[in-house]
Amino acid sequence: MKARLRFSKLGKVRWTSHRDVARMWERALRRAGLPVARTGGFTPRPQMSFGLALPTGCESIAEYLDLGFEYPVRVDELPGVLSPLLPEGVDVLVAAELAGDMGSLQQEVTSCTWEIQVPGVCPSDLRAVLEGVLATAELPVRRERKGREVEDDLRPSLISLNSEESVEEGSLLVAETATNPRGVRPSELAKALGLSLGRACRTSQWIEHGAIRREPLALPVAVVMGEPVSGRAS
């Protein structure tokens, strides 16, 4: 059987690289004693596939991991089993069995929603900046690709930009960015906007098939309402 997990990455653990997060998961799965299937070949690895890599330094409540199991497990028990075995700030929010053959998350996800703090800028001033950016035909920015710096146009990847009140001093930028032809990092968005952006959190990843738009796994009501995830070990 296969299962999909949605997990968070919050707090200090946001500075952990994607590769190190994969190692965290391998250790947690091994400690949990779950019947995770393994790949073939000379160096078998757990059958685990992550969604879009999260830029180092960013937070998220919308990270995904697909797992293959040798035989059926109680999927509803996975959050309570795995969260205590993961580092502080990484919690399994919801898990579900995957039915049939589904495409990889990296191919299926078409866009992401971000919430980014903008310190020292009031919502009305930020709104004016965003309206100006969305009105432009091009938004060139210098960024690194394959070890060299190139100039790209970010404008086609900006689906929506909105300004909201922030609980902290300043404003909250809510941005939806496309994943193709290439995703947009919050640091690259900051360059394009000419602003100093604060902490960034990925809140959703979206899959679109025709008129249907959905998340790979929706959050439980308790998490949406801001209730803490139970079972965290110190």
Report whether pLDDT(30) > 80: yes
3-class secondary structure, 83: helix
- The pLDDT assigned to 122 comes to 92
Crossing angle (nearest 10°) for helices 123-135 and 186-193: 90
pLDDT at 228: 44
| Architecture of the CATH domain 2-106 | 2-Layer Sandwich (3.30)
In terms of C-beta density within 10 A (0-12 exposed, 13-18 middle, 19 or more buried), how is residue 86 classed?
buried
Phi and psi torsions of 167, nearest 5°: -70, -20
**Band (222; pLDDT cuts 50, 70, 90):** low
Radius of gyration of the chain from its Cα atoms, rounded to whole angstroms = 19
- 158 and 184 Cβ atoms separated by less than 8 Å: yes
User: Has residue 229 got a pLDDT over 60?
Assistant: no
pLDDT of the residue at 55: 94
pTM listed for this prediction: 0.88
Q: How far is CA 50 from CA 19, 54, 106, 233, in A?
A: 11, 10, 8, 24
Strand, coil or helix: 190: helix
- pLDDT for res 224: 53
Mean pLDDT of 144-172: 87
Tell me what pLDDT residue 227 has.
Answer: 52
What are the domain boundaries of the chain? 2-106, 120-197
Tell me the pLDDT band of 233, cut-offs 50, 70 and 90: very low
Task: Please state, in angstroms and as integers, the Cα–Cα distance from residue 71 to each residue in 36, 48, 191, following that order.
Answer: 8, 15, 48
Task: Give the residue-averaged pLDDT of 120-149.
Answer: 88
Q: What is the mean pLDDT of residues 106-122?
A: 93
Phi, psi for residue 211 in degrees, rounded to 5: -90, 0
Q: Kindly state the average pLDDT of the residues 126-136.
A: 94
Mean of the per-residue pLDDT values of the chain? 89
CA proximity to 113, closest of 19, 177, 53: 177
Backbone angles phi, psi at 31, to 5 degrees: -65, -30
What is the model's pLDDT at position 225?
46
Residue 97: the pLDDT is 93
Q: Find where tokens 């919502």 sit.
A: 123
Confidence category of residue 70, pLDDT binned at 50, 70, 90: very high
Cβ pair 205, 52 in contact under 8 A: yes
Token output for 62: 């919308």
Residue position matching structure tokens 């965003």:
130
